[in-house]
Amino acid sequence: MSGSPQLEDVSCPLGCPRDNEIVITGRDLLHDLPGEFTVVKCRACGLMRTTPRPTPETIGFYYPDDYGPYLGTQVWQVEHTSRIRALLKPLVKRVFNFNTQRLPPLAPGRMLEVGCASGAFLHRMASQGWQVQGIEFSEKAAQAAAQLGYRVHAGPLETAPPPDEPFDLIVGWMVLEHLHDPIGGLQKLREWAKPGAWLVLSVPNSASLEFRLFKNKLYALHLPNHLYHFTPETLGRVLQVGGWTLKKVHHQRVLSNLIASTGYVLRDKGYARLGQKFIEFPGRAGIWNYALYPLAWIFSVFGQTGRMTVWARVSE
């Protein structure tokens, strides 16, 4: 694909009167692709959105094949690390809870993962007795997940057909902020859920200190791929309109976003090599996430880390 992707201007999806405040103007810092984008805040409800934004037909331009999340969950990586980690895992899990993919205590049932990338999480849940299915926008990643033997719809949530049977649990890790129509998506998932089913999502937290501190150098801003920028309050509202009730917000106990944001600042100040090291930190943090855990834990208590994992339930 060449040239500039087509842009569309969008109103607040909660149907508020058009009254916006410009919050941030920024660019694609991850792949340095062209275009300048603005994040606005709806003065009526507080929900922040990217507008204008690439259309659903052209946003693929901003998801090159080396897009991080597609690579990070390839199976060989899972197989490669599992033997070493398997021995230590139960102990480590008791001490460190990063809240990144925290789930309510549930007996295995039917699970759908929206944005399953190459299938690592599907694989993990299947090994714990869950019947799993996935939806994945990237055809290449979807193929990798399907090769593991799981049913995966390759394409956006919008075109996914309804399941044969409803789900007990639906998860979406860092995916809601990428959807053009999050409310339509949530309503669709609501229809596919059993009574009392859980929806577990992780998203960046735009109410965090990082957001205010780094502005357009914020790693989690991720323009123009992130179309919505939620806070616990605005996410609660969007979930409600989508047919879900927000039950719990877990602030993640990880500082890798903060370090990557610092990398963007360093790069901007002319420290290109050091900056790059910081920017690549989230993918390589490894042991550092454990070393930084106490500090991250303090940040999380005050709701100030860059990401949150939320539990919601089908509204009665």
| Binding footprint of Zn ion on the chain (CB under 5 A) | 12, 14, 16, 42, 44-45, 47
Identity of the residue, 17 or 161, whose beta carbon is nearer to Zn ion in the bound complex: 17
Identity of the residue, 18 or 83, whose beta carbon is nearer to Zn ion in the bound complex: 18
Closest distance of CB 183 from Zn ion, Å? 11
Identity of the residue, 20 or 300, whose beta carbon is nearer to Zn ion in the bound complex: 20
Closest distance of CB 16 from Zn ion, Å? 3
Identity of the residue, 24 or 125, whose beta carbon is nearer to Zn ion in the bound complex: 24
CA distance 198 to 97: 20
Q: Are 55 and 5 in contact (CB under 8 A)?
A: yes
Identity of the residue, 143 or 187, whose beta carbon is nearer to Zn ion in the bound complex: 187
Identity of the residue, 43 or 140, whose beta carbon is nearer to Zn ion in the bound complex: 43
Closest distance of CB 51 from Zn ion, Å? 12
CA distance 66 to 64: 5
Closest distance of CB 24 from Zn ion, Å? 17
Identity of the residue, 42 or 59, whose beta carbon is nearer to Zn ion in the bound complex: 42
Closest distance of CB 41 from Zn ion, Å? 9
Closest distance of CB 44 from Zn ion, Å? 5
Q: Which residue has the tokens 């480590």?
A: 92
Closest distance of CB 280 from Zn ion, Å? 36
